[in-house]
Every structure is written in structure tokens, then in C-alpha cells.
Structure 1
Amino acid sequence: MLKLIGAIFIVAATTWGGFEFAKRYSDRPKQIRQLRFALQSLEAEIMYGQTPLARAAEQIAAQVGPPVNQLFEQFAEKLKVGTFSARHAWNESLEDVWKKTVLKKGEYEALKHFGETLGQHDVTSQQKYIKLALGHLESEEKEAEIAQAKNEKMVRSLGFLSGLLLILLLM
């Protein structure tokens, strides 16, 4: 009886681990879409609303979910303090929030490069840099969707099957 209960716990734990690991594959495209939406909103705020950067970041943070909203919340807070340039505030916020995301180096580089240009140019040039960042994120999103389709189901199955293998080895 104890062996059966132990076996159930092992299979449940490894299956849960597989599902948690597979969740990273489904969360990555979602977070990239949130970033793309946020940058599109930032573009609209800058181009058409003539909204100050700190206020635009606050409004965007209210529109997107975590962890992307945390990036824009921290960015707005750092801009309001006034001791940070837009570039420095963006890079600091990106560093702080990056650990909470499931994004990869490609997205990080696109956002970091975008941050280098933030607040440095006129409105039309800034729009070009936003479009460039959106293009990079779009290609990363396509790659993330391919990886999700290819690996998500396999990782879930591996969690379950590794539990079964562990039970067989222990018996």
C-alpha cells in the first residue's frame, strides 16, 4: 500500500514538474505579445497623444499584465524621480524585471537596444526605433511559437514518463 501511494506521489510530482516546465513555452509568446502591444501603445502615446514618457509608461502598465506591466511601472517611477535619464531608467527597469520573465536573449537585446534610443531623438526618429524593436519582437514571437508547438507537448509527456521510469527503477 505504501509503495502504491509513493508511486502516485512520484508520478504526480514529475508530471507537475513537466507541466511547469512546459508552461515556459506557452508563456514566452504571450509575454512577447504583451511587449509588442506595450510598444505599440507607447508609439501611439508619443506620436498622437504627445504624452510625457513617464505618464505614457504608467498608462501602458495599467493596460498589460505581469511581468511586462512591472517593467513599465518601474520605468515610470524612475522617470518621475528625475535622477535617471530615459535610457538609464529603461535599462535599470529592464534589468530588475528580466528575472521574472521567461523571455530569451533575443528579446532582451531588442529591448536593450530600444532603451538606448529612448528619449534621445525627435518624435519621428523615435517612431522608427519603436518600429525596429517591434520588428525584432515579431520575429522572436514567431520563433517562440515554433518552439512552443515543437516542445510543449513533449516536455509534458517527459514529466509523466520520467515518473514512470523512476517508479520502475525503484521497484
Structure 2
Amino acid sequence: MYLVIKIIGCILLVSATTLMGFKKAQRLYKRRDFINDFLVFLDTLATNIRYSTDELSIILSKSEDRFGKAIYGAYEKYDGTFFKKWKNAVADISDGYALKHEDKQLLCSFGEKLGITDVEGQLKHIELYKGLANAHLDDSKNEIKQKSRLYKTMGFFVGTAAALVII
């Protein structure tokens, strides 16, 4: 009976550590998807700024992409200047996407200068941040290549090693 409990415990241990490895790898994919959503948002925002005469908050409220909806939903909860609302919204939504500190800084600095220049200035600002976001996207893709498989296999092997020590 004691051996059966040990084996079941070892199986649960290996399963748990393997799952932890998969969860850690999944965070890499979430970051990549978030940056892709941000790039789609930038394209949509550039089009809306170019062809719409609406205020920036109204343009955000009409956003149909995932990033735009998420940022506007968080944006509406706060009071203050546009930048203060933007910064708080970025902090709210970034927790669920495993963003690095540099990614959060990119988003905050984007919102800091958004809406304070004329249409051409805003479009140039968006183009600049599209390039910066593409660099972050390349970084996230490289991380996925380098670390995703590592996290998955390390989770399994750490659990297996611990299970062998227990037995």
C-alpha cells in the first residue's frame, strides 16, 4: 500500500512540474500575441486618426481589435488626464499577458505622446512605435524559439528527477 501511494505521489509530482513548464511556455506565447494585437491596434488607430475627426477617447471606444477593447475597458475605470488613464490601463491589462518591463515602458511612452500633436505628428508617432513594437515582437519570437521547448522539457525532467529521489 505504501508503494502505491508513493507511485501515485510521483505521478502527481511529474504531472504538476510538467504542467508548470507548459504554463511558463504559454506565457511566452501570450506576450507574442499581445504584441501582435498592439500592432493591429496601431494600424487601426492610424487609419482612424487619418480619416476621423473624432476625439482620441472616442476613437479608442470604437476600437474593434482585442488590444483596443482591453485598453478602453481599463481606460474607462480611471479619472484624470489621457496619459494617466492610459498608464493605469496599461498596468491593468499587462498583468495577464506576461509582459516584460520594457514592453510596459513601450506602451506607456506610446500613450504619453499620443494625441498631443497634429494628425501628421501622430501618424509619425504611430509609425515609430510600430517599428519599436516589431523589434519587441522579434524578441518574443526568439524567446519562444529558445525557451519554449526548454520550459516544457525542464518541467518534465525536474519532476521525474524529484520522483526518482522520492522512490
- Please, what TM-score do these two structures have when normalized by structure 2? 0.90
**SS in structure 2 at match of 1:128:** helix
The count of aligned residue pairs is 164
Name the amino acid aligned to 2:150.
Answer: M
- Separation in 2 of the partners of 1:95 and 1:27? 16
Structure 1 stretch displaced more, 126-135 or 153-162: 126-135
Which residue of structure 1 aligns with residue 146 of structure 2?
Answer: 150
How far apart are 1:26 and its partner, in Å?
A: 1.4
Which residue of structure 1 aligns with residue 14 of structure 2?
Answer: 11
Deviation per residue, 1:22-43 (Å, 9 max, x gap):
1111111111000111121111
How far apart are 1:85 and its partner, in Å?
A: 2.3
1:87–1:119 Cα contact (<8 Å) kept = no
- Separation in 2 of the partners of 1:117 and 1:15? 43
Supply the RMSD in Å over aligned alpha carbons. Answer: 1.8
How far apart are 1:127 and its partner, in Å?
A: 0.8
Deviation per residue, 1:140-166 (Å, 9 max, x gap):
100110110111011100000011000
Q: Identify the match of residue 64 of structure 1 among 66, 83, 101.
A: 66
Which residue of structure 2 aligns with residue 34 of structure 1?
Answer: 37
1:69-148 equivalent positions in 2, closer than 5 A: 69-75=69-75, 77=76, 84-148=80-144
- Please state if 1:163 is matched with 2:165: no
- Separation in 2 of the partners of 1:59 and 1:11? 47
- Please, what TM-score do these two structures have when normalized by structure 1? 0.88
Higher relative contact order structure (alpha carbons within 8 Å, sequence separation ≥ 6): 2
Gapped regions of structure 1 (runs ≥ 5): none
Name the amino acid aligned to 2:69.
Answer: N
Name the amino acid aligned to 1:19.
Answer: F
